[in-house]
Amino acid sequence: MFDCKRREFITLLGSAAAWPLAARAQQADRVRQVGMLLSGTADDAVFQTWVGAFLQGLGQSGWVVGRNVRIETRWAGSKADDIRRHAQELAALAPDVILAHGGSTVRPLLQSTRSIPIVFTIVTDPVGNGYVESLARPGRNATGFMLNEYSLNAKYPELLKEIAPGITQVAVLRDASQGAGIGDFAVIQAIAPLLRMQVTAIDLREGSEIESAVAAFARSPNSGLIMPGSAAGRRYRDLIISLAARHKLPAVYSERHFAAAGGLITYGGNWIDQYRLAAGYPQRGESRRSASAGADEIRVGSQSQDREGTGPRPTGLGARPRRRGDRVT
């Protein structure tokens, strides 16, 4: 067991998800099948990097695509109806396990199957959203990687205040159809008064609506943007970055690829490692099942890349300084 620290990822490994890729090792001649439900498109270079990390992790665990494992991938995009349809398609195929990206894919999968093991990545508050029963004992047929705790969203306005101390108005670009979008906004809204900021929500719907809403918000002086993680936000990444530049709005994003695409600054975790580590679950699951059937376990996976030391603290604002373990791009 490892101590659970604030800025480390929490991973859940429970007996409810039996990880039959390894558990059925006695059927060595059968090709296993892994389903993947991804809230992106096949031409998305960022998703290709994440999928590549997962395939690399599978290879390191002895699973070779075309030899002893087959991958059934569904690129579902960010629209709820498409995700639901692809979730039902995957469940009908009855794969040995399904990898799910983000909270927008987990609920439709759980509604489509209660027997196929699901391992999720990049999910916020899996307990509060009802995906698992608890962090210690997930139960049901889902387990996986927790993105962060909601309180970390307080870092976004704090970082904005550090890079642009004059900011008094902040727009949060959120996906209001997801529980995580509501939770992220609530934390930012709660800390804003301590930073002498007023917060406005801009819901991510269609591109034209986002463009007009940001343009209207930008008329207010001393304004900035916050983009928490969401499938909808990723879909409109380039538009949001261009709008921030056009209206000269300092912006903080949750995903590193926003900065790589021209965004100002990002604060977030190592998503590539979540995919790589997820591929090792079959091996670990079987070894623990054989040693102690039904044992539940909490595991902690840390950020493995660069670390950020403490930064200056805005005086008189009540903002917490960055601590070792924070990562800013």
Residue 52 has a pLDDT of: 94
Instruction: Give the β-pairing of 142-146 and 9-13.
Output: antiparallel
What is the C-alpha separation between 208 and 185, in angstroms, rounded? 22
242-297 residue pLDDT tens: 999 999 999 999 888 899 899 999 887 778 888 988 887 654 433 333 322 222 33
What is the C-alpha separation between 313 and 119, in angstroms, rounded? 38
Q: Which residues of 9-19 are buried (b: 16+ CB within 10 A; e: fewer)?
A: bbbbbbbbbbb
Name which of 311, 293, 313, 282 is nearest 59 in CA terms. 282
Residue 87 has a pLDDT of: 97
Amino acid at 163: I
Which residues of the chain carry a pLDDT beneath 50? 1-20, 22-27, 283-329
DSSP notation for 215-249: HHHTTSSSEEEEE---HHHHHTHHHHHHHHHHTT-
What is the C-alpha separation between 19 and 285, in angstroms, rounded? 6
Residue 17 has a pLDDT of: 40
CA 64, chain centre distance (Å)? 26
Name which of 18, 59, 51, 15 is nearest 35 in CA terms. 51
Residue 268 has a pLDDT of: 79
- State both tokens at 89: 């398609």
Residue 89 has a pLDDT of: 96
Neighbours of 259 (CB within 10 A): 18
3-state helix, strand, coil in the chain (%, to 5): 40, 20, 40
- State both tokens at 99: 């990898």
Q: Which residues pair with 301 in a beta bridge?
A: 9
What is the C-alpha separation between 112 and 89, in angstroms, rounded? 9
Residue 173 has φ and ψ, to the nearest 5°, of: -85, 110
Sorted by sequence, the CB contacts under 8 Å of residue 257 that are 6+ apart come out as 46, 237
Helix (H) or strand (E) holding 234: helix 231-235
